[in-house]
Amino acid sequence: MQIGMMGLGRMGANMVRRLMRDGHECVVYDINSASVAGMVKDGAIGAASLEEFVAKLAKPRCAWLMLPAAITGRIVDQVAALMEPGDIIIDGGNSYYHDAVDQAAKLATKGINFVDVGTSGGVWGLERGYCLMIGGPDEAVQHLDSVFATLAPGADPGSNPPKDAGTAAFGYLHCGPSGAGHFVKMVHNGIEYGVMAAYAEGINILKSANVGKRGRTADAETSPLENPQYYQFDIDLAQVAEVWRHGSVIGSWLLDLTAGALKNDPALTQFGGRVSDSGEGRWTLKAAIDTGVPAPVLSSALFDRFSSQGESAFADKLLSAMRYAFGGHVEKPKTGA
Ligand SMILES: NC(=O)C1=CN([C@@H]2O[C@H](COP(=O)(O)OP(=O)(O)OC[C@H]3O[C@@H](n4cnc5c(N)ncnc54)[C@H](O)[C@@H]3O)[C@@H](O)[C@H]2O)C=CC1
Ligand SMILES: O=C(CO)[C@H](O)[C@H](O)COP(=O)(O)O
């Protein structure tokens, strides 16, 4: 079928490639005209403006937005102003699910369908496929089924799931009405933070398994290691991450990526360790608080990111100031990574 894609960045461009590879016709637009030109070379129908983009779509128009979440709401309004009843706007970005609920209600008054699609797969999606978490009206979601089926990874090789088992085994799921897709993707990303933090913390403990030999931190004097004989292991972190990938309980795609990163650059020299967050982790915790659901692991992982961004620096200074004030304890220099 025909689908319009607006936003040809790390996600949108590869999604268009995957769609065209499976025979779909793609109309594309991006404010960066070079990105449009590149896609046209690959076989897409290019548009030089938002108006031209909408004009080139066949009715009922289906416009998929793969844009930074911060601008998506504004662009949805602009696209909707050019659309007609029966048309469909799909937000595949990491937008706040509240926005999807509100947008859907607003657009429904004009007869325009809003479908929110949490899209997981990152820059590997072209080959691996995208896991799609979908919210929206039944009819619109059904209309887009062939697009979802193409973007999704499909069934595991050899698994042959029965047709009546639903689409989840193929990598896409209609989770509920508008907002449900982004809600599920939000929690997916909250979990992502927790899983990432668990690997990072565990591997960091392995990294310190030789402190009995090399000495610990600046605090070794005041807080000496009691049993240095138990911390004499020079663990090859890349090799451990690799062996865990084979038959262990904690194997996962995130571990595959971790093992790859450690293999390429065991000291991770290209990273400073400032870990950004784009909103989904914060919104997951808001939902947990609103609904009264405990989420200690996810909140700890989010707050750890804030620390990595430098947000604990003043609190840490306050701790040192208090220690100095009550005990005359002079701050020691920081140790490196
Ligand atoms: N990169 C990732 O791993 C994932 C990203 N997402 C979400 O998907 C969305 C897109 O992400 P990326 O592709 O990574 O972002 P990106 O920054 O690589 O691409 C965004 C694209 O939108 C274009 N753009 C910006 N303003 C525009 C406008 N007014 N009109 C037309 N085009 C415009 C930019 O030129 C750029 O090509 C975001 O909401 C992101 O949170 C979702 C899952 C994974
Ligand atoms: O959705 C994603 C992966 O599933 C995106 O890569 C997202 O940007 C990751 O979240 P954050 O930027 O908050 O780490």
Please indicate, yes or no, if residue 337 is contained in any of the structural domains: no
pLDDT tens column, 54-79:
999 999 999 999 999 999 999 999 99
Mean pLDDT of 242-271: 98
Please indicate, yes or no, if residue 335 is contained in any of the structural domains: no
Distance from the alpha carbon of residue 180 to the mean position of ligand 1, in angstroms: 21
Please indicate, yes or no, if residue 334 is contained in any of the structural domains: no
Q: Please give the biggest Cα pair distance in the chain.
A: 75
Please check whether residues 272 and 306 belong to one and the same domain: yes
pLDDT tens column, 266-318:
999 999 999 999 999 999 999 999 999 999 999 999 999 999 999 999 999 99
331 is an active site residue: no
pLDDT computed for residue 218 by the predictor: 63
> Which residue has the least CA distance to atom 36 on ligand 1?
9
185 is an active site residue: yes
Please check whether residues 148 and 264 belong to one and the same domain: no
Whether 46 and 35 have beta carbons less than 8 Å apart is answered as: no
Quote the CA–CA distance of 88 and 60 in Å, as a whole number: 7
Distance from the alpha carbon of residue 65 to the mean position of ligand 1, in angstroms: 9
- Phi and psi at residue 26, in whole multiples of 5°? -120, 125
Please check whether residues 162 and 190 belong to one and the same domain: no
> Which residue has the least CA distance to atom 4 on ligand 2?
120
pLDDT computed for residue 337 by the predictor: 57
Please indicate, yes or no, if residue 333 is contained in any of the structural domains: no
pLDDT computed for residue 140 by the predictor: 98
* Cβ neighbours of 157 (radius 10 Å): 6
Mean pLDDT of 246-258: 98
Distance from the alpha carbon of residue 127 to the mean position of ligand 2, in angstroms: 19
Please check whether residues 150 and 272 belong to one and the same domain: no
- pLDDT bucket at 108, cuts 50 / 70 / 90: very high
pLDDT computed for residue 164 by the predictor: 83
Q: Is 230 in a helix, a strand, or coil?
A: helix
Q: 25: which residues sit within 8 A by CB, 6+ positions away? A: 1, 2, 3, 45
- pLDDT bucket at 163, cuts 50 / 70 / 90: confident
Provide the β-strand partners of residue 8. Answer: none
Distance from the alpha carbon of residue 147 to the mean position of ligand 2, in angstroms: 23
Please check whether residues 38 and 145 belong to one and the same domain: yes
Ligand lying closest to the C-alpha of residue 186: 2
Residue 156 belongs to a domain with what CATH number? 3.40.50.720
Q: Residue 229 belongs to what domain range?
A: 186-327
Please indicate, yes or no, if residue 332 is contained in any of the structural domains: no
The catalytic position among 25, 51, 106, 192 is 192
Please check whether residues 150 and 209 belong to one and the same domain: no
Q: Is beta strand 62-65 parallel, antiparallel or unpaired with respect to 88-91?
A: parallel
Task: Indicate if ipTM > 0.95.
Answer: yes
pLDDT tens column, 200-250:
999 999 999 999 988 776 677 777 888 999 999 999 999 999 999 999 999
Q: Ligand 1 pocket: which of 64, 66, 188 to mutate (most atoms <8 Å of CB)?
A: 66
* Cβ neighbours of 116 (radius 10 Å): 30
Q: Is 134 exposed, middle or buried (0-12, 13-18, 19+ CB in 10 A)?
A: buried
User: How many structural domains is the chain composed of?
Assistant: 2
Radius of gyration of the chain (CA): 24
Mean pLDDT of 318-335: 93
